[in-house]
Structure 1
Amino acid sequence: MLAQADLAMYRVKDSGRGGWHLLSGDDQSQRLMRTRVLWKQRVEHALVNDCFLLYAQPILGVHDRTVSHYEILLRMQGDDGEIILPGQFIEVAEKSGLIHSIDRMVMSKAIHYQFFAEKQGLRVIFTINLSAHAFNNPDLLSYLKQLLQETGLAPQRIIFEMTETAAISDLVAARRFMEAINEIGCRFALDDFGTGFASFQYLKELPFDLIKIDGSFIRKLSSRTDDQILVKAMAEIAHAFGKKTVAEYVEDQETLALLDKYKIDYAQGYHIGRPVPVTSILEENLPH
């Protein structure tokens, strides 16, 4: 009975609180809750048994056509070896509080991979994604400082990335967090730029170095005049504020040529390169 009451309570919370929910025998919330419990257990198992993998996707300098840096992407390895995308487990990790452990784990793995690469003579720059809950993790900044001290990595070679939606959910906390990251010496990128109602306002409000133009503006860039106008305007305004621009979801040469024309700084997408295990990136580029 208590378990059923718990299910009803979560249904009310998901619908915005301040209401009620009548739990019936055929209610889908029971199946949903069982699924959440299963994924929570899988995330806990993956954290304990090192089943999380880091993938890397190249980001190309549009002007010189050379790889500038790599975005680090998270994957989970299942029991039978299948690769699980974060869309299946991140929401559960956020709701259960396990996201803080995931943020720490991703940061640690990425920085240690970078340290290994530099020891072997390969200088790489990684972009590390942080969750929307990073603002509320009091230990994250001190943990970053500890990792940098242990490895001796130059903080300028690390870029942290957070979505615009996450940043604007608490603008004051976002600004404070980004300023602290900048003080350490690392850089910051704002992902999914353009999806917010007042995106250009954040160019003044938040101290980041790069904006990643949301893929919804890029996917059909070659055929949609309105997207071309918007992307060109984003590039011009971002550069006026001293920010670099990255276009996501670049999937053909025609789009890349337009980005060059609009003076977009960097391009990312399947046309540039698909995500691959970060270990293969290191093996491929290490001097022999």
Structure 2
Amino acid sequence: MQVSLVNQDFSLESIVPFFQPIMDLSNNTVWRYECLARLVNFNQPAFVPSEFLFLVERRHSVARLTETIFNRSANYFRNINVAWSVNVSLEDMLDPEISQFLRAQLHNYPNPQRISIEITVKNALENLDVFNEFASVCKGLNIGITLDHFELSTCDIGQVLALPVDAIKVSGTVMQGIEKNAGLYQSLVSLFQQASMNNIVLIAEHIEQLEVLEAMKNLGFRYAQGFYLSQPKSNLE
């Protein structure tokens, strides 16, 4: 779908959360849902952020987008005892209004421990002071931190595991060549060992084929997410 198909005059009211499950492979149940922003226009397929985010940024409305998705997700799950997460950007972490917004939203919210904020490894490592300050806010609100887009080939395991996080998403692309790369395999073993010692959950993401899913299960992953397991959906049915 071409970006040009997005109406320049779209409203943030048209952006809604779609829910993609993270599965518990030990019993084939949903562990939590990631709430993903989608732009819904009448009689058109939902647009993904890469197709409309440039319009949000042009309007300087990134914070409003984050607030919209968080608020709608929070309302959706308020009376449903299911864990869920939303994504925040570097711009969100730098914006003091987002921290104030989270405090206001979670005042009297039931079981905020169900909520997790997802932040890319790149944004966390390249802006450590900003990340640590934002993580402190989240911890104070009893919500978790998940690191997204972790790549074994490009990330320092020790540096990442030293961060104040609860979970790390490991890309399914780790399977590419792992059988012929002893160093990569040992890095993965080390990641599991250190994550366990730090009480950090590992999640296999970008699972798009059965072969990759089975391989990740054999490597020890209990949690997984990807199109093979489920596409993002507008409801939990």
TM-score scaled by structure 2?
A: 0.86
Q: Secondary structure at the match of 2:74?
A: helix
1:70-149 pair list within 5 angstroms? 70-78=33-41, 80-94=43-57, 96-115=59-78, 118=79, 122-149=80-107
Who is 1:178 aligned against? 135
Who is 1:200 aligned against? 158
Please tell me whether the aligned partners of residues 148 and 155 of structure 1 are also in contact (alpha carbons under 8 angstroms): yes
Who is 1:261 aligned against? 218
Distance in 1 between residues matched to 2:204 and 2:215, nearest whole Å: 11
Who is 2:121 aligned against? 164
Q: Secondary structure at the match of 1:185?
A: coil
User: Per-residue deviation at 1:39?
Assistant: 6.6
Please tell me whether the aligned partners of residues 135 and 145 of structure 2 are also in contact (alpha carbons under 8 angstroms): yes
RMSD: 2.5
Greater gyration radius: 1
User: Per-residue deviation at 1:79?
Assistant: 5.0
Distance in 2 between residues matched to 1:67 and 1:84, nearest whole Å: 25
What number of residue pairs does the alignment pair up?
A: 232
User: Per-residue deviation at 1:108?
Assistant: 0.5
Which of 208, 228, 232 is the matching residue for 1:271? 228
Q: Secondary structure at the match of 2:107?
A: helix
User: Per-residue deviation at 1:209?
Assistant: 0.3
Who is 1:58 aligned against? 21
Q: Secondary structure at the match of 2:17?
A: strand
| Unaligned residue ranges in structure 1 (runs of 5+) | 1-34
Please tell me whether the aligned partners of residues 39 and 92 of structure 1 are also in contact (alpha carbons under 8 angstroms): no
Please tell me whether the aligned partners of residues 70 and 126 of structure 1 are also in contact (alpha carbons under 8 angstroms): yes
Q: Deviations over 1:173-225 (max 9, x none)?
A: 10110111011100010001126443431211x2110000124325x47x754
Structure number with greater CO (CA < 8 Å, separation at least 6) is 2
The 1:82/1:67 distance shift into structure 2, 3 A limit, reads closer
| Unaligned residue ranges in structure 2 (runs of 5+) | none
Distance in 2 between residues matched to 1:62 and 1:126, nearest whole Å: 17
User: Per-residue deviation at 1:51?
Assistant: 0.5
Who is 2:191 aligned against? 234
Q: Secondary structure at the match of 1:133?
A: helix
Distance in 2 between residues matched to 1:236 and 1:187, nearest whole Å: 21
Distance in 2 between residues matched to 1:192 and 1:133, nearest whole Å: 18
Determine which structure has the larger helix proportion and give its number: 1
